[in-house]
Structure 1
Amino acid sequence: MKRVLIVGGGLGGLAAGMKLQANGYKVSIFEQNHHFGGKMVPIQLGDYSFDFGPNTITMPQVFQEILTEAGENPDDYLEFIKLETHTVNFFPDGTPFFMTTDRNKMVEQLERLDSHAEISYYDYLEEVKILYETVEKQFFYRTFSSWTDYFDPSLFQALWSVHPFETMDHFHRQFFRNDYVRHAFNRYAAYIGSSPFSAPAAFAYIGHLEFNDGVYYVKGGNTKISEAFTSVLTKLGANLYTSTKVRKIMVEQKQAKGIELENGETVMGDIIIVNGDVLTAYPDLVEEKRHPHFKNGKADRYEPSLSAFVIMAGLKERNPHFIHHQVYSSSDYEAEFHELFQEKRLPSDPTIYIWNSSYIDPQRAPGDNLFIFVNAPADSGSFSYRPEEYKHLIYKKLKRFGVDIPSQLVVEKVITPGDLASAFSAYKGASYGIRSTRKLDSFLRSSNKSKDISNLYFSDGTTHPAGAPMAVISGINAADAIIHK
């Protein structure tokens, strides 16, 4: 039985481990934090339960299928609740725009807000469906384990069909003329930590997931996904270790022989998977001379995605105007991204996203449990700010929309880009791996396999775009590469 050592217990590492353990490998997972799931962290502040990490869940079949492959009934572990009306966007003047899978309700709103979109909305839904089907078939499950993978004729045919040199904003302008309506759809670029004015149009496929397939919430919190994975891994007989930091990967003659833990203990293995940000993990764990195709300085060619400034706030009461997700728009969306990427500073008028899971799951908190999220530059060392001051800037803007946080506040926790960098070893504190701006890099991602070390594999944010389903798919890709080899 081959021994697989997985460094990092995020969703990708858990998924890879589950698939390999179910296929006859002996898996051990080593996680430096006190929990499994990566950024999918449960946080308890008094009587208020929060999830840090993926807030909008799509593609539930990805989580269900890997549990099924492991011999389990996913319904025994996860209850996915579909949210018909999942998000309300508030324009700067307070006008609400509800995002829903109900096509009639969408058209009724667009009739008032954007007469062009009222007509083109069905064309939009068909176009993003085609984008999704192409991307899902041709890109999601590719491992790019050798250079020949890049020359598959079907891959390049698909590449040219997904608007690789068109930006998301340009794509959305075909369908939406009202600036604020268009910005509501342009937020999909922020889902991958990028700007709609530079991210490829192909990522507009997210619209298919939200308006054709639907947005979901996992009862009890989205962290139930990582809990389900760890439960199944334990049941299958995998070895799971938390609070266990790996110091280095031991390499001899182009083969990884095992790992050395921070306490000096060594663990030998036949195959190693790094489930972490490869731009930081590879240089930290492996001597540079052992990976000449990925020099330590190679990370500099990649732009980090956005990071985040987060406030978790528990309120005394429930605001009757909140739904599950709400977004409070910037008055100048393009200027916001200019501040983030060109000026590398926190936006002066940020778009504010609030997730209130207690709306659909009231047992999670006695009042609203608000996860308040603002995009931030990734390199926390390159800009100066005072978290307390920026928190009050956010609260001040929300009050203009009738959301008075301080008067209702019971518990509160602030998380900065620097916190993300230290807690998750994220490249420059980026929340979503590398930024999807280089058009071809967005599709032809880094390989799931090391070019220099024959039995070293990767599952991380540089081998897949951001998102919980994509993290799982990256783990599946790494496991498949090992099994098929």
Structure 2
Amino acid sequence: MERVIVVGAGVGGLAAAVRLQNAGYQVTLYEKEPLVGGKMNRIEEDGFTFDVGPTIVMMPELYREVFELAGRDPDDYIPLTKVEPLMDISFGPDERVRLSNDLADLTSTLEGVSEADAQGYFTYLAKLYGRYRVAKDNFLQRSFRKPTDFYNPKSLVAGLRLHTLGDAYSSVSRYVKDDRLRKALAFQTLYIGISPYEGPSLYMIIPLIELLYGVWYMPGGMYALAEGLRRLFVELGGEVHTSTPVERIVIVDGRARGVMVKGELRLADAVVCNADFPYAMKELVADERTRGKYTPEKIDAMDYSCSCFILYLGLDKRYPAESVHSIRFAPDFRKNLDDIFEDGRFPDDPSFYCYAPCSLDDSLAPEGMQTLYVLVPVPPLAEGGPAWSPDEVARYREQVLDLVESETVYEDVRNHIVCERIYTPRDFEGRFNACRGATFGLRPTLKQSNYWRPHNKADHCEGLYFCGSSVHPGAGVPIVLLSARLAAEELMTDDGAHASQVRAVAAERAVIAARGEAAERGMAAEELAAESVVAAGVAGVETAVAAGGEGGSR
């Protein structure tokens, strides 16, 4: 195996492409959008720069790992600055809690509520750290192919130690009595698109990771990661095609043989798909045997994460916001989430998240101005839910800006908007092929997690692998980076002994190239000979595709 095609240049596809190119494979990456990054995208307008999707850097070691694997200094690609305070949380106009990475400051904040709650908070964090270690070693950093990979004594014991049956909010409530602190610990399940009243208590490791490992910022915004990965991939010899949508993954005789692009067959020995898994199963995989249980009907019936309604505001004024990240909680947070996850409607009283990075990075706006990103969790697209017509969008915008002006430092923000863009679930569906506009992919319920989440290796097809937020281990940038690692490892495991041969050939080519023009001419002759050997196989695949040999149709 030597040639690999990666479908989709989201952060998972980019990271998988870098890993495989570095391992000696020749990787070609196809992306439908003009920019790489997927939902980790960028808006540049009138001198303002906005991150489209993710804004919070957690678990920086996973970001750095991809660059270190290639022998690069991550600071040359994604320099990081620690964010302090961690976050401001508002429960009303005059009721705020500031979370800090500094232990002394955090302790002071907690004791300001009550010493009993401070003790309960730290006790709970200690228990979560034990669960985090179990999850990391037994589930997050390993893939599942067959039932015995999960249904075995070691995994079952580990699963029991995780205490996953309770929901996140109930889990923290046993240790912390103040409802504000409960919400401050539990709301982070929304980072992966699930309500804390529904999400398994395992996902309480998210606030643990924030507090223990910190929150970080990349100069230039989160898109710096996408740019850095692309740059590294090209430096390693990878090939990127943007504005080039893949029309179909070609399956012949139970094996992925390439992709169709602009009506042409692009051959490969393996395919890594970073497109949203539900979309890929419905639109890119025509072979019914490869789909297996993931029929169109099954995909439609699965549970989807929430989506996002986001205002990107360029302001001609700098406001005195002390925190890069802040949250406004609705007084009735439970009803707010029920509106989204149970009733499927825009919440009557929405909670929202504000991101104001110009306090750290002046490059994102003209002098004396700033950007403001306001994100409201909303339901995924569904019959009976918001249609996101222009009138609805305008009405929701006014509703959100009323709250921003009355409950944050942006008290006259409407008067200072000089640049504005809005994203709704329809943008996430149309631009990024997110099924039902679900920003975080499949909802990480117990029945859609671990072994029961779509696998990194296709169950019924050789040479086909998946990464991204809808496959194992789940959503969130650090976890998607893990999915890229698992997909690449699965491919190399299947390649077996030949993988080491590929790496040896790549090293040999590098040495020969460095010897000068004469050696290069000799290498060209060798490659020409190799191509003639491959040609017979290429012709066979083309004949099979022309004859309808994919074994199924949409």
Q: Indicate the TM-score class for this superposition, using the shorter chain for normalisation.
A: over 0.9
Q: Which moved more, 1:118-127 or 1:385-394?
A: 118-127
Who is 2:227 aligned against? 227
Kindly provide the CA deviation profile for residues 272-292 of structure 1, in whole angstroms up to 9, marking residues without a partner as x. Answer: 111011111122112142323
Q: Which moved more, 1:112-121 or 1:356-365?
A: 112-121
Higher helix fraction: Structure 1 or Structure 2? 2
The answer to whether structure 1 residue 422 and structure 2 residue 421 are counterparts is: no
Who is 2:406 aligned against? 400
How far the C-alpha of 1:114 sits from its partner, in A, is: 4.1
Kindly provide the CA deviation profile for residues 352-394 of structure 1, in whole angstroms up to 9, marking residues without a partner as x. Answer: 1000111111221132211100001011554235001100100
Who is 1:389 aligned against? 395
SS at match of 2:158: helix
> Letter of the aligned partner of 1:465 in structure 2?
G
How far the C-alpha of 1:53 sits from its partner, in A, is: 1.3
Who is 1:373 aligned against? 375
Q: How does 1:16-165 map to 2 (within 5 A)?
A: 16-165=16-165
How far the C-alpha of 1:115 sits from its partner, in A, is: 4.3
> Letter of the aligned partner of 2:405 in structure 1?
K
Q: How does 1:255-404 map to 2 (within 5 A)?
A: 255-261=255-261, 263-291=262-290, 292-366=292-366, 367-379=369-381, 381-384=383-386, 386-401=392-407, 402-403=409-410, 404=412
How far the C-alpha of 1:17 sits from its partner, in A, is: 0.9
SS at match of 1:91: strand
> Letter of the aligned partner of 1:103 in structure 2?
L
Who is 2:514 aligned against? none
The answer to whether structure 1 residue 206 and structure 2 residue 206 are counterparts is: yes
SS at match of 1:43: strand
> Letter of the aligned partner of 2:439 in structure 1?
S
Who is 1:183 aligned against? 183
| Counterparts of 2:256 and 2:13, CA distance in 1 | 18
- Percent of aligned pairs with the same amino acid: 29
| Counterparts of 1:359 and 1:380, CA distance in 2 | 38
Q: Are residues 116 and 231 of structure 1, via their aligned partners in 2, closer, same or farther at CA, if it must alter by over 3 Å?
A: same
| Counterparts of 2:435 and 2:84, CA distance in 1 | 35
**Scaled by the length of structure 2, what TM-score is found?**
0.85
The answer to whether structure 1 residue 459 and structure 2 residue 461 are counterparts is: no
| Counterparts of 2:438 and 2:484, CA distance in 1 | 20
Asked if structure 2 preserves the Cα contact closer than 8 Å seen for 1:380 and 1:418, the reply is no
Kindly provide the CA deviation profile for residues 322-376 of structure 1, in whole angstroms up to 9, marking residues without a partner as x. Answer: 4200111101010011100111001111111000111111221132211100001
Asked if structure 2 preserves the Cα contact closer than 8 Å seen for 1:89 and 1:97, the reply is yes
Gapped regions of structure 2 (runs ≥ 5): 495-554
SS at match of 2:448: coil
How far the C-alpha of 1:201 sits from its partner, in A, is: 0.5
Who is 1:476 aligned against? 485
Q: Which moved more, 1:85-94 or 1:377-386?
A: 377-386
Kindly provide the CA deviation profile for residues 206-236 of structure 1, in whole angstroms up to 9, marking residues without a partner as x. Answer: 1221111101111121111111111111011
Who is 1:446 aligned against? 454
Q: Which moved more, 1:287-296 or 1:168-177?
A: 287-296
SS at match of 1:460: coil
> Letter of the aligned partner of 1:388 in structure 2?
A
RMSD: 1.5
Kindly provide the CA deviation profile for residues 226-250 of structure 1, in whole angstroms up to 9, marking residues without a partner as x. Answer: 1111111101111111000111112
Asked if structure 1 preserves the Cα contact closer than 8 Å seen for 2:167 and 2:198, the reply is yes
SS at match of 2:36: coil
Kindly provide the CA deviation profile for residues 178-223 of structure 1, in whole angstroms up to 9, marking residues without a partner as x. Answer: 2222112221110110011110001101122111110111112111
| Counterparts of 1:41 and 1:462, CA distance in 2 | 18
> Letter of the aligned partner of 2:421 in structure 1?
K
> Letter of the aligned partner of 1:373 in structure 2?
L
Asked if structure 1 preserves the Cα contact closer than 8 Å seen for 2:474 and 2:483, the reply is no
Q: Which moved more, 1:25-34 or 1:130-139?
A: 130-139
| Counterparts of 1:156 and 1:215, CA distance in 2 | 32
Asked if structure 2 preserves the Cα contact closer than 8 Å seen for 1:6 and 1:274, the reply is yes
Which structure has the bigger radius of gyration? 2
Asked if structure 1 preserves the Cα contact closer than 8 Å seen for 2:4 and 2:271, the reply is yes
Asked if structure 2 preserves the Cα contact closer than 8 Å seen for 1:132 and 1:206, the reply is no
Q: Which moved more, 1:475-484 or 1:69-78?
A: 69-78
SS at match of 1:158: helix
SS at match of 1:210: helix
Asked if structure 2 preserves the Cα contact closer than 8 Å seen for 1:380 and 1:429, the reply is no
Asked if structure 1 preserves the Cα contact closer than 8 Å seen for 2:251 and 2:287, the reply is no
> Letter of the aligned partner of 1:467 in structure 2?
G
| Counterparts of 1:394 and 1:73, CA distance in 2 | 42
Kindly provide the CA deviation profile for residues 14-35 of structure 1, in whole angstroms up to 9, marking residues without a partner as x. Answer: 1111111111111001000111
Q: Are residues 168 and 429 of structure 1, via their aligned partners in 2, closer, same or farther at CA, if it must alter by over 3 Å?
A: same
**Scaled by the length of structure 1, what TM-score is found?**
0.96
| Counterparts of 2:114 and 2:424, CA distance in 1 | 37
> Letter of the aligned partner of 1:432 in structure 2?
F
Q: Which moved more, 1:358-367 or 1:26-35?
A: 358-367
Asked if structure 2 preserves the Cα contact closer than 8 Å seen for 1:194 and 1:306, the reply is yes
| Counterparts of 2:133 and 2:441, CA distance in 1 | 24
| Counterparts of 1:232 and 1:152, CA distance in 2 | 39
Who is 2:442 aligned against? 434
